[in-house]
Structure 1
Amino acid sequence: MSFFRHASALLLCASFAAWAALPTLTTAWPVNVGPLNPHLYTPNQMFAQSMVYEPLVKYQADGSVKPWLATHWTHSEDGKTWVFTLRDGVLFSNGEPFNAQAAAENFRAVLENRQRHAWLELVNQITDVKALSPSQLQITLKSAYYPFLQELSLPRPFRFIAPSQFKNQQTMNGIIAPIGTGPWVLQESRLNQYDVMVRNERYWGEKPAIGKIVIKVIPDATSRAVAFETGDIDLLYGNEGLLTLDTFARFSHNPAWRTQLSAPVETVMLALNSTRAPTSEQAVREALNYAVDKKTLIDGALYGTQQVADTLFAPTVPYASVGLQPRSYSPDRARALLENAGWTLPAGKTIREKAGQPLHIELAFIGTDALSKSMAEIIQANLRQVGVEVALVGEEESSIYARQRDGRFGMIFNRSWGAPYDPHAFMSSMRVPSHADYKAQRGLADKAIIDREIGEVLTTRDEHARQALYRDILTRLHNDAVYLPISYVSTMVVAKPELGVIPFAPIASEIPFDQIAPEAAQ
């Protein structure tokens, strides 16, 4: 097992770097971690960005935040001006000091690329950031903004890279090297092969028990499973696309391995494009919702590991329990909706037509995501039963994200972002063309109202008004049938038992490698 390889290093190579005498953990991911620019998105992988870069405040499982790079903070009575006192003695992994000036430079770099980050309302709210002293950072907002601290804790974009690694005093066009304050340092990256993280020996906090993490690039879920079974990797941690769930179920019955499922963390759904025919029709979108047998899909493709989703967010998400009426599986109701909308079934045909045009919809998904492919095939079969022809479009991750941004889809797999993004940050992003939601909603008659109310819900200081606004927004989106919720998903873990119990991170997109304590290291 790879995390026992440290024994000889400990005895024979004492002069190695400190991490060489510690356990090595090998895991797998579908793609490389990317250049690890803390202020940008794809192809940067969020779990790896969070390993290298840290926030001012750290999100907790109960929804609160705790001091991190900032030890405490105060704010003005009107909630617009905040002063953060920074932790003493923090260094970037290259030895540069982390101080208020470095923090302010990072905020400047993010805000100079404000349009790219406009999905996050905090970016729009910040009017000024300045260093008051080496240890005090002041942030000024347009208005009081209730998710302020939670959004500072996100994996991106408000995390900190050494200013010496900016390119031309900016980060929007790339960085020199990924130098952060976090517990890990990117040591090596080989395209389509692997990435290597090593422990940051300058880390200000408790250092990880693991010295080195090898992240093998294995795009295929079956190959990842084989790599685990043969001992090539020690841990698989991620969402339901990481392994086929029949494999997860099989592993869970093998006492030689440890398997874990978290509580539900996100919603998997289809976004239905309201600007492109035929999903531009309300009746078609409603019919699609009634036509998918979610329970059978979950019991079959998902091996019962997830819960049926009736709404955009689970009722346990803050502000999301608003009593919406589920659209339960009813193919007869789906057929009736389509008939009444003029989509009829010509004699001898299995696909409905209207004005000579077949009821044809493309469903786009990430081709390397085994589970998305299985789910897409089941949905395709369900919809054919009511006379809808679905063409499956499986492409690489970056291509699917491009489709989400530019609206080249009829239906496309989408998911909420989990804590701490849901509901506020996920809904904030609906107002800009950075994700599938904006393009899916753009053709709705009440899109302008939805966008206005999202802006209001983020800035009101009246809790009752906030609840009422969330209720109206969620009701409108539900009534518009612009989403087809499928399941509330959990994080999966498959691990060698010697790694001990694997903790789940409060933020769904993070992997808490720094908290894993192999028995060999204890």
Structure 2
Amino acid sequence: MLVMGCSQGDKAKSQNNVTTQDTSHANTMTLSWNKDIGPLNPHMYAPNEWFAQAMVYESLVQYEEGGKIEPALAESWDISKDGKEYTFHLRQGVKFSDGSDFNANIAKKNLDAILANANKHDWLELINQMKSVEAVDDYTLKISFKNPYYPVLQELALIRPVRFLGEAGFPDSGNNTEEIKKPIGTGPWVLSEYKKDEYATFTRNENYWGEKPKLEKVVVKIIPDGETRVLAFEKGELDLIFGTGLISLDSFKSLKESGKYEAKFSEPLSTRVLAVNSNKGATKDLNVRQALQYGLNKQALIDNLFYGFEEKADTLFAPNFPYSNLGLKPMDYDIEKAKQLLDESGWELSDGKQIREKDGKPLELDFAYVSDDNVQKAVAEAMQGEYSKLGIKVNLVGSEYQSHVEKQKNGEFNLIFSETWGAPYDPHSLVATMRHPSHGDYQAQLGLPMKKEIDQKINEVLISTDEKTRQDLYKYILGTLHEQAVYLPISYISNIAVYQKNVSGVTFTPQQYEVPMQDIEIK
């Protein structure tokens, strides 16, 4: 059922000049992921997996609990009075995993490569606002910006794209990192063994400048199916399952209640939400979008599918996020209100029929979800049943992750699963992407009559230096999107962790896409 990454003599394919070796070792932890880790390019996105990029590469600064920005590869920094220049004093003595030095010159080379591919990163306002990069001396890096962009430090803490590749990892062209030779970072882990779609083995980076992990190796087995993952865990082939969507919540509950394993979940990290396309078919109509809000019994969904592990969400961002405590009125469950809105828009449910019609056409919606995400699939099936009570036919369209992303980009949906990104992205980074056609948020909003005004307000809020002005702009942006019902928030997402009794030190971080392995031990 599983292909073991530690079988001796395995003649595996290589990628990024990483070849297979014997992975057996006493101080090794084994976990599973639902897709291949990708080429581990620090400057690019899917198919690179966030958690694996975070194991190998580091940022100038680190985002910690409570939103505090702490030093990482930069020990300290200075900000000019006009907010347009950031001077970073880099940590000395840092080595890449191949033993080469991290300094201002290689940091500049990485940032210049990112700027050379700026069109790949136009979703991130940090890159749009970046004007120039200067290596002042060996350990002083200056970044100049076009405007005083307030979330600079938060976005420099992101897992991608502003992390640093060693010189030997750069392609021969030197200034284009769409593809890399091999993953060389300053982080605590090195990719040492790899077989595409089967496994990846990470070995502790003995050149690491900080506190080294307690584990010596981490083996990531690629198991697309959630039930297969649970069976492997129960058989002792996995030490840890970490992250939302990798197993069903039924399985999580069963494992937790068995008493055989340790199981816990994090504080809420982001919002589980549907984007509702204002530019396609029946969901162009505000009444239909609002009916979808009123017609969903979120609390019943959470009680039955999430077993109370997640909290009901009424707004796109939780009120404890910056600029998000706006007192917006929830569209609470009211099935009669939902029916009334559909009636008002001419969607009639005739005697003897189960599906509403208008002008001879059925009220039919395409609902896109990631097929190997166990939670999305369960929620989609439950919502399909809920909306049938309103006379709405929901077609479930399950796709593998990359195809799902393409549907977002192309607006090929009436309803599509999404989620906010949590700290340190929300709200500024996610709001910034709403202006870009390559993102599902833009596609969902494209049919709104005030779309241009929303985009203009986003432009203004990102470079505003006045706190009150910024709050007023966010109130307009988030308030308008709420009223227009282009997002259907369901619950606030928590990460889950299930692990064997001999594993200790499992924690959660503020960034939901990291698997924190620094303190994990195998007894």
TM-score (norm 1): 0.94
Instruction: Determine the structure 1 residue equivalent to 2:3.
Output: none
Among 464, 469, 474, the alignment partner of 1:465 is 469
1:380 is the counterpart of 2:384: yes
Instruction: Determine the structure 2 residue equivalent to 1:358.
Output: 362
Instruction: Determine the structure 1 residue equivalent to 2:284.
Output: 280
Q: Secondary structure at the match of 1:41?
A: coil
Shift of 1:450: 1.3
Task: Write the letter of the residue equivalent to 1:238.
Answer: G
Instruction: Determine the structure 1 residue equivalent to 2:239.
Output: 234
Instruction: Determine the structure 1 residue equivalent to 2:273.
Output: 269
Q: Within 2, Cα distance between the matches of 1:304 and 1:351?
A: 32
Instruction: Determine the structure 1 residue equivalent to 2:11.
Output: none
Instruction: Determine the structure 1 residue equivalent to 2:131.
Output: 127
Instruction: Determine the structure 2 residue equivalent to 1:454.
Output: 458
Q: Secondary structure at the match of 2:105?
A: helix
Q: Within 2, Cα distance between the matches of 1:114 and 1:243?
A: 36
CA contact (8 A) 1:274 1:281 kept: yes
Shift of 1:20: 7.7
Alignment of 1:306-321 (within 5 A): 306-321=310-325
Task: Write the letter of the residue equivalent to 1:352.
Answer: R
Instruction: Determine the structure 1 residue equivalent to 2:147.
Output: 143
Q: Secondary structure at the match of 1:426?
A: helix
Task: Write the letter of the residue equivalent to 1:225.
Answer: V
Instruction: Determine the structure 1 residue equivalent to 2:15.
Output: none
In structure 2, stretches of 5+ residues that fail to align are 1-5, 7-20
1:213 is the counterpart of 2:211: no
Task: Write the letter of the residue equivalent to 2:269.
Answer: V
Instruction: Determine the structure 1 residue equivalent to 2:189.
Output: 184
Shift of 1:346: 2.5
Q: Within 1, Cα distance between the matches of 2:454 and 2:501?
A: 48
Shift of 1:433: 2.2
Q: Within 1, Cα distance between the matches of 2:202 and 2:327?
A: 46
Shift of 1:449: 1.4
CA contact (8 A) 1:264 1:306 kept: yes
1:441 is the counterpart of 2:445: yes
1:60 is the counterpart of 2:47: no
Q: Report how many residues are paired.
A: 502
Alignment of 1:289-304 (within 5 A): 289-304=293-308
Instruction: Determine the structure 2 residue equivalent to 1:509.
Output: 513
Q: Within 2, Cα distance between the matches of 1:166 and 1:49?
A: 16
Shift of 1:255: 2.6
Shift of 1:273: 0.8
CA contact (8 A) 1:291 1:383 kept: yes
CA contact (8 A) 1:20 1:211 kept: no
Q: Secondary structure at the match of 1:37?
A: coil
CA contact (8 A) 1:165 1:178 kept: yes
Q: Within 1, Cα distance between the matches of 2:498 and 2:252?
A: 8
CA contact (8 A) 2:116 2:176 kept: no
Q: Within 1, Cα distance between the matches of 2:167 and 2:484?
A: 46
Q: Within 2, Cα distance between the matches of 1:500 and 1:235?
A: 10
CA contact (8 A) 1:265 1:488 kept: yes
Shift of 1:171: 4.0
CA contact (8 A) 1:31 1:219 kept: yes
CA contact (8 A) 2:25 2:217 kept: no
Q: Within 2, Cα distance between the matches of 1:492 and 1:469?
A: 35
Q: Secondary structure at the match of 1:342?
A: coil
Q: Within 1, Cα distance between the matches of 2:248 and 2:24?
A: 34
Shift of 1:106: 0.6
Shift of 1:497: 2.4
Q: Within 1, Cα distance between the matches of 2:174 and 2:292?
A: 49
Shift of 1:300: 0.9
Q: Within 2, Cα distance between the matches of 1:220 and 1:381?
A: 24
In structure 1, stretches of 5+ residues that fail to align are 3-16
Q: Within 2, Cα distance between the matches of 1:171 and 1:244?
A: 40
1:203 is the counterpart of 2:203: no
Q: Secondary structure at the match of 1:305?
A: coil
Among 112, 119, 138, the alignment partner of 1:115 is 119
Shift of 1:387: 0.9
CA contact (8 A) 1:265 1:418 kept: yes
Task: Write the letter of the residue equivalent to 1:185.
Answer: V
Q: Secondary structure at the match of 1:25?
A: strand
Q: Within 1, Cα distance between the matches of 2:108 and 2:267?
A: 37
For residues 57-98 of structure 1, what are the alpha-carbon distances to aligned partners after superposition, in whole Å with 9 as ceiling and x for unaligned?
A: 001011011111001111211010111011111111112211
Q: Secondary structure at the match of 1:71?
A: strand
Q: 1:118 to 1:359 in 2, by over 3 A?
A: same
Shift of 1:458: 1.5
Alignment of 1:291-440 (within 5 A): 291-440=295-444
Q: Within 1, Cα distance between the matches of 2:415 and 2:259?
A: 40
TM-score (norm 2): 0.94
Q: Within 2, Cα distance between the matches of 1:137 and 1:59?
A: 20
Task: Write the letter of the residue equivalent to 1:500.
Answer: S
Shift of 1:163: 2.8
Q: Within 1, Cα distance between the matches of 2:226 and 2:50?
A: 19
Shift of 1:213: 0.5
Task: Write the letter of the residue equivalent to 1:354.
Answer: K
Shift of 1:112: 1.1
CA contact (8 A) 1:221 1:242 kept: yes
Shift of 1:156: 0.3
Shift of 1:470: 1.1
Q: Which range is displaced more, 170-179 or 75-84? A: 170-179
Shift of 1:424: 0.9
CA contact (8 A) 2:132 2:145 kept: yes
CA contact (8 A) 1:22 1:210 kept: no
Shift of 1:347: 2.9
Alignment of 1:143-162 (within 5 A): 143-162=147-166
Alignment of 1:458-497 (within 5 A): 458-497=462-501
Q: Within 1, Cα distance between the matches of 2:124 and 2:174?
A: 23
CA contact (8 A) 1:404 1:435 kept: yes
CA contact (8 A) 1:351 1:388 kept: yes
Q: Within 1, Cα distance between the matches of 2:145 and 2:521?
A: 41
CA contact (8 A) 1:39 1:171 kept: no
Q: Within 2, Cα distance between the matches of 1:388 and 1:278?
A: 10
Shift of 1:30: 0.1
Q: Within 2, Cα distance between the matches of 1:422 and 1:86?
A: 27
Among 167, 174, 186, the alignment partner of 1:169 is 174
Q: Within 1, Cα distance between the matches of 2:131 and 2:298?
A: 45
Q: Within 1, Cα distance between the matches of 2:440 and 2:272?
A: 13
CA contact (8 A) 1:268 1:415 kept: yes
Runs of 4+ in 1 over 4 A off after TM superposition: 19-22
Q: Within 1, Cα distance between the matches of 2:73 and 2:265?
A: 31
